[in-house]
Structure 1
Amino acid sequence: MINGHLVGLRARHADDVAVLHAELYDDVPTHSRANAQPWRPLPATGGHSPFEPAGASEKSACFSVVERATGELAGEAVLWGIDTHNRFAHVGLSLLPGSRGRGLGLETVLLLCHYGFTVRGFNRLQLETLADNAAMIGAAEAAGFTLEGTLRQSGWANGAFIDEVILGLLAEEWPGFNLPSAPPASAG
């Protein structure tokens, strides 16, 4: 588990799937804004949910976001579209409705950057979001990402075309993140 001050990133557990599916996937308006794929009615079981834990993949690293104070599931985070040759990945996250607006998104972005730059050795991380997603843009900019461009009317969400923005961060621009120190080892 990668721990920050407020949240930790851990492997997706089977128990997480029903919660993530109900609160993130079955919320059609929110899912439509957060995902480039159209919503379809899918059961949370039987390997159909997009939140089902998958085997190891070179193309993505999926995490569950957990609040450190309570141990409660707070959302999902992912590095996707991983390109090991060019040392590049895309950043994505989605917090449960009850976990939004408390600074957890910023720390999740920071932990994904730590994982991408420090653990995986990537050179570039990129984030795409709808241009009116002020919370995501604010978290990305606070983490050091730079607005690099706008893709006009490239997102289709809830019956309308919406501009998308691209934000990027290079390893050389990454200021690092002061992770909580590990407890001292016992002497005996």
Structure 2
Amino acid sequence: MLRGNKVGLRARHQEDIPILRAELYDDVVNAARADGQPWRPITPGAPDPRLVVDDTAPGLVPFSVVELAGGTLIGTATLWGIDPHNRSAHVGLGLRPAARGQGYGTDVVAALCHYGFTVRGLRRLQIETLADNAAMLGAAERNGFVREGVLRSAAWVLGEFLDMVLLGLLAEEWPPATPDGSG
């Protein structure tokens, strides 16, 4: 397990899937804002391609996020679009509603940066998020990500086009967090 200050990133367990599906993906508004694809229902009992792990997919590393204090499942974290030639990848996360607003997102991004830069040897990490997603923008910027641009009207979300913010972080710009969180 990868450990941050408050969270751990571990392999996805089968028992995680129904919880994450119910709290993250069956919520139409949350799922539509988080996924680049239109929301659609998944038949109960059918495998959910957003949550079932395919260990043979080289460009995708999904994690379940747990609270270190008690081991409670609090969300998902993903390094996706891993490009070994250009040594880059994208960062994504989703927190269960009860875990939002507690600083977990910042710690998840830090743990994904550690994984991407230290474990995988990547050179660049990138985040794309809706322009009104203050929580993700804050978590990214607290970890050193820099706003590189705005993709105007780039995301169709529940009947309207929304702007996306593109953030990037290079390995040499990333200071690993110290135990006291000072960076």
When normalised by structure 2's length, the TM-score is 0.95
Aligned to 2:161: 161
- 1:47 Cα offset (Å): 2.0
Aligned twin of 1:77 = 77
Query: Structure 1 residues 2, 163: closer, same or farther in 2, change over 3 A?
Result: same
1:93-172 alignment to 2 at 5 Å? 93-172=93-172
- What is the aligned partner in structure 1 of residue 7 from structure 2? 7
Report if aligned partners of 1:92, 1:127 keep a CA contact under 8 Å in 2.
yes
Deviates more, 1:37-46 or 1:26-35: 37-46
CA distance in 2, matches of 1:18, 1:31: 15
| Structure 1 residue 77 displacement after superposition | 0.2
Contact 1:3-1:179 within 8 A present in 2 as well: no
Q: Contact conserved, 1:13 with 1:53, CA < 8 A, in 2? A: no
Q: For the Cα contact (< 8 Å) 1:82–1:90, is it kept in 2?
A: yes
Q: Give the 3-state SS of the residue equivalent to 1:161 in structure 2.
A: strand
- 1:186 matched to which residue of 2? none
Give the Å deviation of 1:56. 3.3
Tell me, in whole angstroms, the C-alpha distance in 2 between the residues paired with 1:58 and 1:2: 19
Max Rg structure: 1
Distance of 1:89 and 1:46 partners within structure 2: 29
Shift of 1:179: 5.9
Check whether the contact 1:14–1:53 (CA below 8 A) recurs between aligned residues.
no
Cα RMSD after superposing both structures: 1.3
The answer to whether the 8 Å contact 1:7/1:108 transfers is yes
| CA offsets 1:92-146 (integer angstroms, 9 cap, x no match) | 0000000000000000000000000000000000000000001100110000000
Q: TM-score if structure 1 supplies the norm length?
A: 0.92
Q: Which moved more, 1:53-62 or 1:106-115?
A: 53-62
Partners of 2:45 and 2:5 lie apart in 1 by: 33
Q: Aligned pair count? A: 180
8 Å contact 1:149–1:167 — kept in the other structure?
Answer: yes
User: Identity across aligned pairs (percent)?
Assistant: 56
Alignment-mate amino acid for residue 82 of structure 1 = I
Which aligned runs of 4 or more in structure 1 are off by greater than 4 angstroms? none
Aligned partner of residue 15 in structure 2, secondary structure: helix
Structure 1: gaps spanning 5 or more residues? 181-188
